Structure formats: structure tokens, C-alpha cells
Structure 1
Amino acid sequence: MLGSIPGEANCLGPEASRGSLIILSVAGDTPGVGRVRCAKNRRIPALGQARTPHGGGVSILVRDGAGVEVGVLEKEVPERATVTRRFSADVNLIIASAYFPRKADVSSEALDTLLGANGAMVIGADVNSHHVLWDPLRPSDDKGECIVDWCVQNDMKIANTGLATRRQPGTAALSSPDITLCRDCEISNWKSALSPDSDHHWITFDVFVGTSLDVIAPSKPVRALYSWNKARWNEFRKLSDVLIFRGMKRSAKGADALNEAVTRGIRMAAKRTIPKGKGVAPPFWTPELTKLDKMVQECKNERKRDALIRWRRKVLVDTAMGRWKENVLKLSTTDSASWNLVKSIYAPRPLTSPVLVVDGHPLTKRQQAQALAKMYMARSTKAPHAPEMRILSTRRSTFRPITEAELDVALRELSSGTAPGDDEIHCEELKELGRVAKKCVLRLFNCGLRTGLLPAKWKHGIIVPLLKPNKPASNMASFRPVTLTSTLCKLMERIVARRVRDCVEDKLQPQQAGFRPARSTVDTLMQVTSAVRRRRDGEKTAAVFIDYARAFESVDHNCIVKALMSFGVEKHLVT
């Protein structure tokens, strides 16, 4: 473990009370792999120190002097000291420390002086600057922006996790002026703790040198999915009956309250009776990406979040390229795995959905959502003759409630394995509901049909833009929106659609084949073929094919309601 430990006065004497230390102790582990451990030992000799007569800076201490080379102390700004630890003939670790005084300028030229020879390197520095990537407690400044740009250009990774590294004397204000950088090595378990001797904190972390990323287990928290084959369905039915009935008994009247009781009961029953799997860890994920992912999720400032996302994307690309280079070096004409890799690269496969790009710049998630929403709203049209439909509540004497038989048919038609909506209710759970729970669901559906008011949460959906095959990602029109809505809502839609279909089926033209049971495009082709063959000698046959652009997006809903009511569909079915 390597530790950058600010302000250990007992090691260097009283004059170093405001300094920073890097303590290095070596333990033999895997041959050819260097692993460094941190230890607090008052007998460790100081090999180099970057500091000014007024204090500050970083010091390097090594407990075991075997295989250690000490560089020349440079007193120009930034003051810097270097120590090289040689683990073997091929595995080295360069430890550089630096100090930028508060009033000193931070530039790319000054930062370049910290770069040593190629290979694994760790830099611990008191930079007296701030950026959201290592100091979310203070606003970013120009010095911090310069350091981030320099890190990107030189493939340096920032190991800080956002914890404070300094407590202001007097005011106890927290900040992070100390930064830990690494190159060609992996840092994990970066921690910061209060020091009893200084206003700077102790900083400790693990460094992996001379090992590939395969040694470090992926630590990204994967989303665990339900293991439906291991579900205890008998317990689920009994528990869902009790929880849903109890929730409905206690809830207020109205579709929203009934929907909340049903969804809450299903979720609670599933949590107790359906286990979750471990999930599959994503490739190329490292502890640094886990840290960045957590920082992105917790960051509330949109500007800072965008900066974190850009940095996370850069780190992911670098990690993937490093893994790819390792795989390329292992390729062999006699290795079957190498040929499988080549086949997988050249195998035809559909395009994935990349990051939405506009004017050559990738958009953030919020910008993507706003741009797509604006485009889809502009496409939506309204017919000038469409009436403003105001459908009142249906009288109980004319209302035909949904029956349990209709619900069972709709449940059997639900597709398993589909993504749930925002309420996290799955089709598999609805299919296994008990008899009491089904009656509660029927009560919810009939309440919505009778009053014309559906739960407000059913109108919320998760829109996922999918890139159309062979379309450019730079054009927003290349994306097809797919909306994940409530599974309960889709279940009720199936029941209503069946009733509407039964009412209008005999009123539709026989030539229409789309969206009708027991019909397909083959029927239309047969009709066209028959018309061509029936022509007499000398007669010509003309055909007109019309393709409406964005037909589903431009259909006015009020016109659909008007047409359905003209077919005699009941009012409560078109609310």
C-alpha cells in the first residue's frame, strides 16, 4: 500500500508540521509484481522532500532501502523529489512528489517537469488548486482545469475519491488541495483520515504495479435481476393476497391510491419470495470507474456532473484500449481463442445505440432528453377538424365492468422477459397473482373505466431512444423512441383493446389486413395479384402506394376517439 500522508511532524521534526509525506514499505508478494504497503513507522528515513522554508509540500520516506534510487531534489517551482523503487528487472515504480505554493502558477510546462521515464508512476502533490474531480467541496479554478487537461494529455489517472484532504485551522473548513495521480498502474482503496499533527489528512491507498487489469476484480455494482426459476410462487401468491388486500383496505378512494396499494403489495411480496441473481459484471470496469460512477450519481451540480461524465468516458476508453492491446499481444495463429476473437469482430451484428452526437459534440443525458423531447413534440400534429373530446363519467347502469375471465385471458397474453416500467412491476409477477390479488386488480381497472380517471403514474414512462439500423448517430431523426410504461397499464390496455376490437371488427373494410386477427400482408398481396389477373385483354392495371411519413407520431388522438365513437364503442373504453 502506498500512502500520501500530509503533515507527519514526528518523522521529520517540528519544521515539517505542515508538510506531506509519502511512506513506502515493501513486502514480497507475487514474483515480478510490486505491491507497496503503507505503515506508520517513526524510524523510517526521509529520502527526499519537496517543500519550501515556509512549510508545505510532500516528503518521501522509504522503510526498506533495497532497490531504491533517489533522484535529485529540484527546488524550482514546482519543487519536486523523485524516488524509484525497483521490484525486478522489468517492474519499477516511480514515486514523485511536488509542491505548488499557493501563489504559484500552474501550467502544462510546469507539470511536465513531474514526468519521469516511461513506466508505472505515482505522483503525490500539494497543488493548492481545486477541481470537481478531486475537490467537490470547493468551486473549480483555472489551475484545476489546467491539471485536468494535462492529465488527459499524458494518460494520468486521478485517484482521489472526493474526500477532504485538509481542514482549515480556525474555521475547520474542508477542502482537497492534495492530489494523487498514477500512470501504468492501478490504485484502489484511496482513503483520507484526520491527522493528529497537521491540518492535512492522512491519505492511504493500494497500488498494483506490473499486473494486468484481470487481477483486480470488477467492482461496479451491477443491477441484480430476479431469478424467476428460483421463485417461491406459492408463498408469493399468499403474501401478495394479504399485502394487496390490506393496502386497499387502508388506502383512500381513487385510482391513484388503489394503484399504489397494488404496486406496493406486489413489490413487497416479490422482495420476500423471489431471489435475485448476482448479475454480470460489465467489462473493462475498474475501481477507478466505480469511484467515478458513484461521484456522478451523487453529484447534484449539472456542470460538475458533465465534467465527471467526460472524465469517466475518457478513463473507460483508456481502460478498454489497454485491455485490447493486451489481447492483441496474445494473438496466435495456433490458438483457437484468437480465431474466435477475429470471428466475433467481423461477424455481422446490429448497431448499438451510441452517445447522441450533435455538431460533433456528445450530449449529456439531460441534453439528450431535452433535444429528443423537443424533436418529438415538434413532430406531433393535430388535425384542424379534430374535436376537443370531453368524456364524462359513465353511469353505473350502462357500465360493463371487466370480468375475471377477461383478466385471465389478458394475463396469459403477457410476454415474459420484457422490461418493466417505472413502477418495477414485471409480467411474471402479475401472472402469478393469487385470487384475492386479482380481484383487487379488477377493482383498480373498473374504477378507472367508470370514472374516466387513470392513475397519474401510468402516464409516466421511461423513453429509450434506439438507433435505427444503418442510420447515422449524428442525426437525431435516426433514433426511434421506445417507451417503457407500467405493466399494469399495459395489462388493462390489452383488455380494453380486445373489447374495442370486438366492437369494430365487423365495421372495417375487408381490404384492411393490418392490426387484425387472422390476417397478414399475404392477404393484401393476394388481393393485388387477383386484381391484376382479372384484367381483360388490352386493359391496364394501375396501383398507387402511399407511405405516410411518421404515421404513428402524427395521428391525432382526438380524431381516433371520434372515429371509435362513430363505430359505437362505449364511452368508458375511449377515455
Structure 2
Amino acid sequence: MYHSKMAGDARPRQRPFLITFNFVVGDDEPLAHHVPKPSYYSWGQANWQEYSRLVSEDCKRFPTKGTPNQQAKFLSRSIAKATAKAVPKGVTRVRHLWSADLEDAERKCEKLLSPIDGTTPSQRREILFSTRERKRLLSNHCKKEWGKVCADMKPTNSATWRTLHNIMSAHPTPTNLVVEGGREVPFTSQANHLVSFFKTKATRHPRAEVPRLPPRPTSMFRAITRQELASALRRISYATACGPDDVYNEALAHLPKIARVALLRTFNRSLSRGMVPREWRLGTIVPLLKPGKPAGRVESYRPVTLTSTVAKLVERILHGRLRHLVQSDSQAGFRADRRSTDALMWLRAHVQPTNASKTPLTSAVFVDFSRAFDSVDHHLPLQR
């Protein structure tokens, strides 16, 4: 990085002037697009009493006679606003892994970087030296802690296998997306290229008819009860990403009674009118790099959509009602308490010959469709 300070007078009819500047070299950091680090909530330091009070005060103005869109939007805004006020942001450092030397180096760098605008060359050199010293201390500290972890590894310890799995598993690369021509593009252009690419993959059968909603049996689409809502809230997972509405599962689990009643009314209003609120249909698409694929190609990414946690909650309730009617007993994948080994054992038991019988030879064909989900017309399952 180069810092310069020039001075001079370029007005006409002046004698030749000198341009003086300071030239500082020494920053070995690679150039890259600046991406602000997200600020995460520290749920362990949350003030849940204050959170319940804020949500309860807000829910007194809940639009009981409003549309599902209005009710869902009101609840999402209320929960997100209360979360921002009652839950502090930032991840606290693990003190037993943070030495006193690192604490002093961190405090010194923060003090030097605070008045970074208008600094002198000597101050910039001091900042550069302090930053390098902090990196050196952090590197030595990490090597020392990693040595302790390796010394404590045992084959019978589950933590050892978790550590090895995290090391061997694929991790996203920070390499920028490269498009045609071998040129890197900024993040906004990357998003546009990904949207244009995946938009062509979602196809629809040319002879597909307009889908019609199936009849609604009263036993399946009856009103959601408080017991069903409480059971679904107990089974939600923590430390997961939220959707565009900024509502986290931790916040849903600590909803007060008045907010749960309002949430139940929103679910039943949406169910009775057959309307999915707009807040629940929005999602944030995150492209994840496939293992072993080059990071510079658009087709190497798998899009994952982060949807509303409130929508996932009502989907969990309806899933408990529908799974016994929709899922077939012959399906082994994507089902609770079922796995692919069940299907393999069934196939082996029916195909493998025994000593007492002479079973003819059997041929098996296994087909793996590339981009199967993208190429299937999503309206056809309703017709089946």
C-alpha cells in the first residue's frame, strides 16, 4: 500500500515548483474486495426478560383482523427489533485460549488504528510494526495450542475424530468468481452471473398443466393447536442462520405467551385462507462451492436458500401431518430413522442366491441424474 502527501502550486505564471511526497512501502497484504465481517448475536449474554417485555409490549398492537401478510410482517419486525435491543452482538473471546501478550498487542493495535485518518509516516510505520507483531504472537500462540491438541489426541476420543473430520472436510475458498475471459468480477457482478446461470436450469415441462390445489381434508388442515406449536418450538435447532426477516430460532424459543398466541393466529389465518405470507416466501441465496470443484466457474456452486425461520416452524407442524400420507414405505432416503443401507440390505436379501435355491443372475442399473432437482418440473408432483 502506498501513502503519498503532495504539496505545490500549479497556478499559471508561476516559477517552476516542486512536488514533495512521502513514500511508504511494506504492506504485504494481497489486494481484495473489502467485505465487512458480519456481527453475530451473543445469545449467552442475552437479556431474555427485556426481550419478553419488548415483544409483549409490541404484540399488544397485533393486527388480529389483518391479512396473513400484515400479521407475519408485524411479528417479524417485532421479534427482530426486540432481538436487536436485548441481545448484544459480538462473540466473546475464549479467555483460556487468549494469552496476556495477545491481549496487550490487540489493545495496542486498536489504539493506533483509531486515529488512522491523517496519520504521519512514522505513525503508519508504527502501525505496520504493531500489526506484524500481533500476527507473529498469534501465529506462535496457535502453534502452541495446536501442539497441545495433537498431544491429547486418542483413537478412543470422539473429539479427536471431530477434529480430523473438520480438517479433512471441504471448506469454501475465498477466490473470486472468474467469468469468461479470465477476469475476476466484484461481488455484485458475481451475484448477477449466478442468478443468470441458475435461472436457465429451472425448467418446466412444455405440456404441463396449470396445477390445481388438491381438496383439503379437515383432518389434515384443521387449526393448529397450542400443543403442536409448543412441540415444534421444542424441536427447533439453535446456532443456525436466519432468513431475510432477521428472526432467529433462539428468539422464537423465548417468545412470551402473548407472542405465541399471535403467532398461532397467524398460522391459522394463513392455513384457513390458503395464503402464504410474502415474508415467508423470501429467501437469501448463498452459493456454496462443491467439493473438489474449481472456484472460478459458475457451475461449481450449489445454491442454498436461507428462508424464514417462522415459515420453517409452520412447515414442521404441517410436515408431521403429511409425512404419513405422502411418503412411501419403499422410500429410504430423506426420512427419519431410514438410510440407504436399509435399501441395500433389502436388495441383497432378494437378489443374492442361497445354497438351497438357484436364483438366476440379476442385473442392476444405478442412475445418477445431474442437477435432478433443477431439471424436474415442480408442478408435476401435484399432478401425481
Q: 1:239 to 1:392 in 2, by over 3 A?
A: farther
Which whole-Å deviations, capped at 9, do the CAs of 1:148-180 have from their partners, x for residues lacking one?
A: xxxxxxxxxxxxxxxxxxxxxxxxxxxxxxxxx
Conserved 8 A contact 1:240-1:266:
yes
Distance 1:373 1:53 in 2: 54
Q: Which residue pairs with 1:126 in the alignment?
A: none
Distance 1:414 1:382 in 2: 34
Counterpart code for 2:345: M
Q: How big is the shift at 1:53?
A: 5.6
Q: 1:533 to 1:402 in 2, by over 3 A?
A: same
Conserved 8 A contact 2:220-2:321:
no
Q: Which residue pairs with 2:170 in the alignment?
A: 350
**Residue 362 of structure 2 is aligned with which of 511, 521, 541?**
541
Q: 1:387 to 1:497 in 2, by over 3 A?
A: farther
Counterpart code for 1:517: A
Counterpart code for 1:497: H
Distance 2:9 2:54 in 1: 66
Distance 2:82 2:376 in 1: 40
Pairs aligned (count): 326
Q: Which residue pairs with 2:52 in the alignment?
A: 237
Q: How big is the shift at 1:442?
A: 1.2
TM superposition score normalised by structure 2: 0.71
Q: How big is the shift at 1:537?
A: 3.4
Which whole-Å deviations, capped at 9, do the CAs of 1:110-143 have from their partners, x for residues lacking one?
A: xxxxxxxxxxx34xxxxxxxxxxxxxxxxxxxxx
Q: Which residue pairs with 2:96 in the alignment?
A: none
Larger radius of gyration: 1
Q: How big is the shift at 1:400?
A: 0.8
The alignment partner of 2:365 has SS state of: coil
Deviates more, 1:473-482 or 1:365-374: 365-374
- Give the aligned CA root-mean-square deviation in angstroms: 4.1
**Residue 261 of structure 1 is aligned with which of 29, 50, 74?**
74
Q: Which residue pairs with 1:473 in the alignment?
A: 295
The alignment partner of 2:287 has SS state of: strand
Conserved 8 A contact 2:42-2:91:
no
Counterpart code for 1:184: V
2:350 corresponds to 1:391: no
Q: How big is the shift at 1:337?
A: 6.3
Counterpart code for 1:551: A
Conserved 8 A contact 1:394-1:451:
no
Distance 2:220 2:349 in 1: 45
Distance 1:393 1:241 in 2: 38
Distance 2:227 2:352 in 1: 47
Distance 1:523 1:221 in 2: 46
Q: 1:394 to 1:326 in 2, by over 3 A?
A: same
Q: 1:527 to 1:225 in 2, by over 3 A?
A: same
Conserved 8 A contact 1:420-1:484:
yes
Q: How big is the shift at 1:394?
A: 6.5
TM superposition score normalised by structure 1: 0.49
Distance 1:530 1:523 in 2: 11
Which whole-Å deviations, capped at 9, do the CAs of 1:235-274 have from their partners, x for residues lacking one?
A: 423432331232335xx62111101211122123223322
The answer to which structure has the higher helix fraction is: 2
The answer to which structure has the higher strand fraction is: 1
Counterpart code for 2:251: E
| Mapping of residues 392-431 of structure 1, within 5 Å | 400-431=222-253
Conserved 8 A contact 1:356-1:363:
yes
**Residue 351 of structure 2 is aligned with which of 509, 525, 532?**
532
Q: How big is the shift at 1:455?
A: 1.4
Distance 2:264 2:25 in 1: 61
Distance 2:319 2:294 in 1: 36
Conserved 8 A contact 1:227-1:274:
yes
Q: How big is the shift at 1:391?
A: 3.4
Distance 2:13 2:26 in 1: 33
The alignment partner of 1:375 has SS state of: helix
Distance 2:271 2:348 in 1: 44
Distance 1:461 1:440 in 2: 23
